């Protein structure tokens, strides 16, 4: 029993049904919003288009009867006169309507005429007196009809004044022209026109974004309050290091480097995101900062999402740092024995300056002499969890997170508001854009020929498959099936190797080394190669079942080719039906990672693009961060003004934001 049973029509069984849906109070009921709206207009039977959903009013001329077709399937039929014609209405699993649909009853049926105007397949039948013309909310709740639910809501509204209590300060409602809560509830559940729906939706989205903005900014204020010892790096040595690089930094790289250096000098902890497309030169910027930190005698932990990438960072940094006396090591669970001891001892005594590893690195039983800096190469994820673990271990280093899913600056500031953001927009000059096309499997021979052509010219290829092993349930390619497919279409004598994340580290390393040295022509792999494998001689990539991947992920994947000065190609293969969706077309049109991630965000939302648990970004219920970007910016601007606002609703919002930090995983 609960207060819901006080509502007319709700008995114990309906109440327990509602409880399963998380609806336990009148307030919960009222705050359950429709997922969409249907527009109901009556259509005269003779004018109803065949095969299109319409609502038709009529009189029963032959009472309804029910046939039991099989378990859980009944068929209700009746004849109806409408607009001067008589036709048969069929509805499945509506046997409970039979008593009401006796001869002479007036009804409205929603559904469609099948072939001619003799048979009408209904998905809903109501008596005319219960029919509501106009906009009808659809709640989509399991086991509860929309009509019934709307009735409960209408009955609940007077019982629960707290649901209609305003949550936003009057100042904000006014300046943003937002509908007050009282009106919103009526608009949401009983909209009279489209304007009411959009007013309600705008208010609901705004509030959702405002609450998120407040949580993000609360976290930011906490971060900024941490006082640290400024790092007085040796600028002369840093300059010498930059001069020794084999290239000139791009303007964007210089700017990002400056922003990082300002952070290092400040008496507060750095928490900065460095974002830029694959190959835009983020790692080199991070390396300069690592070197600066080294000049003050502090160590760096450099973390990457995969072992392959971590090992590669270790190799690159070793090469870069060797002439400058900076020592670098690689550590993972797979590093054992004497080497493990050497690394652990070196970090504890301070003879090792930089350690690279996966994100598990900080969970290793390592002790640093003076950990001053953490670089987290996250690609899609952000360093929230890592930061927390480091803090729990007693370290509070400056943190630089690198993201290869770059987003427009205004959006980044809103979405990653607890971090400062540096952006590398332009790629180093001389990069040739990867030529990309989207095609279907019937065209596979052409692709195989294209690979063979590149291999004959001394180049190498990647083929990406979505699955590790075959799965009878799935129509997607696995790595072994992809190998099979290739063998069927390629000349013999071509060396094919396969790679996936479930292999042993040593095996993975051996396979990548063989590809790097050119011994292997084609590497068939899962998305393990998404980041890190750097083989400039590879010029072609085929991605099988490309529709299985997010746009940003596909862009990351193809970033494995086009790394040398050679023209490179990417072929996205999918089946015809999915090709028609056109989602993948943007990859063929542009190589700009900013545009691609924006499109990805529009389609999937930040929770899916970046990984909800990792970023603190919720899967917004109402708002879309791209389509509602103006609202997002407004909400984030307003959020900043609430911290010092004495208004009691502002105080409540700020308080709730502080407790929401956990829910958003921001801490």
**Of 43-51, 205-213, 244-252, 368-376, which part binds ligand ADP (CB under 6 A)?**
244-252
Which tokens hold the place of 565? 């000065």
Residue 16 CB partners (closer than 8 Å, separation 6+): none
562 binds, among Mg ion, ligand ADP, none (CB under 5 to 8 A by kind): none
249 binds, among Mg ion, ligand ADP, none (CB under 5 to 8 A by kind): ligand ADP
Question: Whole-number minimum distance, CB 578 to Mg ion, in Å?
Answer: 30
Nearer to ligand ADP, 478 or 556 (CB): 556
253 binds ligand ADP (CB under 6 A): yes
Residue 509 CB partners (closer than 8 Å, separation 6+): 308, 311
Which tokens hold the place of 633? 């910016």
**Of 243-251, 406-414, 445-453, 655-663, which part binds ligand ADP (CB under 6 A)?**
243-251
Give the span between the Cα atoms of 444 and 488, in whole angstroms. 10
Nearer to ligand ADP, 27 or 278 (CB): 278
467 binds, among Mg ion, ligand ADP, none (CB under 5 to 8 A by kind): none
SS3 74: strand
253 binds, among Mg ion, ligand ADP, none (CB under 5 to 8 A by kind): ligand ADP
Question: Whole-number minimum distance, CB 562 to Mg ion, in Å?
Answer: 14
CB distance 143 to 95 below 8 Å = no
Nearer to ligand ADP, 276 or 605 (CB): 276
Q: Which of 283, 312, 379, 405 binds Mg ion (CB under 5 A)?
A: 283
Q: Which residues pair with 138 in a beta bridge?
A: 36
281 binds ligand ADP (CB under 6 A): yes
Q: Between residue 374 and residue 433, which ones bind ligand ADP under the rule CB under 6 A?
A: 428
Nearer to ligand ADP, 249 or 389 (CB): 249
User: How many Å from the N-terminal Cα to the C-terminal Cα in the chain?
Assistant: 38
312 binds Mg ion (CB under 5 A): no
Computed from CA positions of residues 388, 394, 398, 401, in that sequence, does the dihedral angle turn out positive or negative?
A: negative
Place of tokens 């288009």: 49
CB distance 567 to 552 below 8 Å = no
Give the span between the Cα atoms of 69 and 214, in whole angstroms. 56
The CA–CA distances, whole Å, from 504 to 335, 341, 472, 549 equal 12, 21, 25, 25
Nearer to ligand ADP, 274 or 461 (CB): 274
Which has the closest alpha carbon to 293: 273, 321, 319? 321
Question: Whole-number minimum distance, CB 363 to ligand ADP, in Å?
Answer: 24
591 binds, among Mg ion, ligand ADP, none (CB under 5 to 8 A by kind): none
68 binds, among Mg ion, ligand ADP, none (CB under 5 to 8 A by kind): none
Q: Which residues pair with 497 in a beta bridge?
A: 523
Residue 663, CB-side half-sphere exposure with 13 Å CA sphere = 12
Q: Which of 44, 247, 581, 627 binds ligand ADP (CB under 6 A)?
A: 247
Which has the closest alpha carbon to 353: 306, 293, 401? 293
SS3 291: helix
333 binds ligand ADP (CB under 6 A): no
CB neighbours of residue 339 within 10 Å: 12
Question: Whole-number minimum distance, CB 253 to ligand ADP, in Å?
Answer: 6
- Pinpoint the alpha helices (H) of 66-121: none
Which tokens hold the place of 295? 């000049």
Question: Whole-number minimum distance, CB 149 to Mg ion, in Å?
Answer: 51
Give the span between the Cα atoms of 90 and 76, in whole angstroms. 6
SS3 323: helix
SS3 385: helix
Give the span between the Cα atoms of 92 and 98, in whole angstroms. 12
Q: Which of 250, 520, 527, 597 binds ligand ADP (CB under 6 A)?
A: 250
Q: Which residue is nearest to ligand ADP (CB)?
A: 281
H/E stretch holding 284: helix 282-295
350 binds ligand ADP (CB under 6 A): no
Question: Whole-number minimum distance, CB 604 to ligand ADP, in Å?
Answer: 23
Nearer to ligand ADP, 91 or 260 (CB): 260
Give the span between the Cα atoms of 445 and 3, in whole angstroms. 67
279 binds, among Mg ion, ligand ADP, none (CB under 5 to 8 A by kind): ligand ADP
Nearer to ligand ADP, 141 or 529 (CB): 529
Name the DSSP class of 225: T
276 binds, among Mg ion, ligand ADP, none (CB under 5 to 8 A by kind): ligand ADP
Q: Which of 219, 275, 280, 332 binds ligand ADP (CB under 6 A)?
A: 280
Mask: binding to ligand ADP, 282-301, rule CB under 6 A, as x and -?
Answer: xxx-----------------
Given the rule CB under 6 A, which residues bind ligand ADP? 247, 249-250, 253, 276, 278-284, 428
Given the rule CB under 5 A, which residues bind Mg ion? 283
């Amino acid at each position: 029993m609960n207060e819901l049973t006080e509502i007319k029509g709700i008995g114990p069984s309906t109440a327990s049904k509602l409880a399963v849906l998380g609806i336990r109070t009148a307030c919960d009921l009222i705050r359950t919003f429709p997922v969409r709206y249907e527009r109901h207009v009556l259509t005269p039977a003779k004018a109803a288009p065949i095969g299109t959903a319409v609502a038709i009013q009529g009189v029963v001329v032959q009472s309804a009867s029910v046939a039991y077709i099989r378990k859980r399937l009944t068929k209700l039929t009746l004849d109806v006169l409408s607009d001067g014609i008589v036709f048969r209405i069929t509805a499945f699993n509506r046997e409970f309507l039979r008593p009401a649909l006796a001869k002479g009853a007036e009804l409205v049926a929603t559904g469609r005429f099948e072939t001619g105007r003799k048979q009408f397949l209904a998905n809903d039948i109501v008596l005319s007196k219960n029919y509501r013309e106009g906009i009808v909310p659809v709640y989509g709740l399991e086991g509860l009809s929309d009509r019934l639910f709307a009735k409960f809501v209408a009955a609940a509204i007077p019982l629960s004044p707290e649901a209609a209590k305003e949550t936003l300060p009057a100042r904000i409602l006014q300046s943003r022209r937002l509908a007050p809560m009282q009106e919103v509830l009526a608009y949401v559940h009983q909209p009279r026109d489209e304007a009411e729906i959009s007013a309600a939706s705008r208010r609901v989205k705004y509030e959702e974004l405002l609450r998120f903005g407040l949580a993000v900014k609360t976290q930011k204020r906490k971060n900024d309050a941490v006082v640290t010892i400024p790092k007085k790096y040796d600028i002369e040595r840093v300059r010498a290091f930059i001069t020794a690089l084999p290239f000139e930094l791009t303007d964007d790289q210089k700017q990002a480097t400056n922003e990082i250096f300002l952070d290092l000098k400040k008496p507060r902890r750095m928490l900065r995101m460095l974002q830029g497309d694959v190959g835009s030169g983020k790692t080199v910027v991070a390396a300069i900062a690592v070197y600066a930190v080294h000049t003050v005698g502090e160590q760096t932990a450099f973390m990457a999402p995969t072992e392959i990438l971590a090992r590669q960072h270790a190799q690159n940094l070793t090469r870069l740092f060797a002439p400058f006396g900076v020592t670098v090591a690689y550590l993972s669970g797979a590093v054992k024995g004497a080497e493990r001891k050497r690394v652990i001892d070196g970090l504890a005594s301070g003879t090792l300056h930089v350690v690279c590893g996966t994100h598990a690195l900080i969970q290793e039983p390592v002790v640093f002499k003076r950990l001053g800096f953490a670089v987290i190469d996250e690609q899609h994820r952000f360093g929230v969890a890592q930061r927390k673990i480091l803090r729990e271990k007693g370290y509070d280093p400056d943190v630089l997170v690198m993201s290869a899913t770059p987003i427009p600056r205004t959006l980044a500031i809103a979405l990653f508001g607890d971090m400062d953001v540096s952006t590398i927009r332009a790629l180093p000059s001389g990069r040739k854009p990867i030529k990309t096309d989207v095609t279907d499997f019937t065209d596979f021979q052409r692709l195989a020929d294209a690979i063979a052509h590149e291999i004959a010219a001394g180049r190498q290829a990647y083929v990406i498959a979505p699955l590790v092993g075959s799965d009878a349930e799935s129509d997607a390619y696995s790595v072994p099936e992809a190998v099979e497919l290739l063998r069927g279409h390629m000349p013999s004598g071509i060396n094919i190797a396969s790679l996936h994340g479930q292999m042993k580290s040593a095996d993975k390393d051996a396979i990548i080394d063989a590809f790097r040295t050119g011994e292997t022509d084609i590497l068939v792999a899962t998305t393990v190669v998404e980041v890190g494998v750097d083989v400039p001689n590879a010029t072609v990539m085929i991605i099988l079942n490309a529709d299985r991947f997010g746009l940003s992920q596909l862009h990351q994947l193809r970033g494995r080719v086009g790394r040398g000065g050679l023209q490179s190609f990417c072929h996205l293969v999918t089946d015809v039906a999915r090709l028609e969706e056109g989602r993948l077309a943007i990859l063929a049109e542009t190589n700009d990672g900013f545009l691609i991630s924006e499109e990805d965000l529009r389609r999937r939302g930040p929770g899916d693009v970046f990984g909800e648990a990792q970023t603190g970004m919720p899967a917004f219920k109402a708002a879309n961060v791209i389509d509602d970007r103006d609202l997002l910016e407004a909400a984030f601007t307003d959020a900043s003004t609430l911290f010092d606002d004495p208004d009691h609703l502002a105080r409540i919002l700020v308080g709730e934001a502080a407790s929401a930090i956990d829910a958003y995983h921001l801490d």
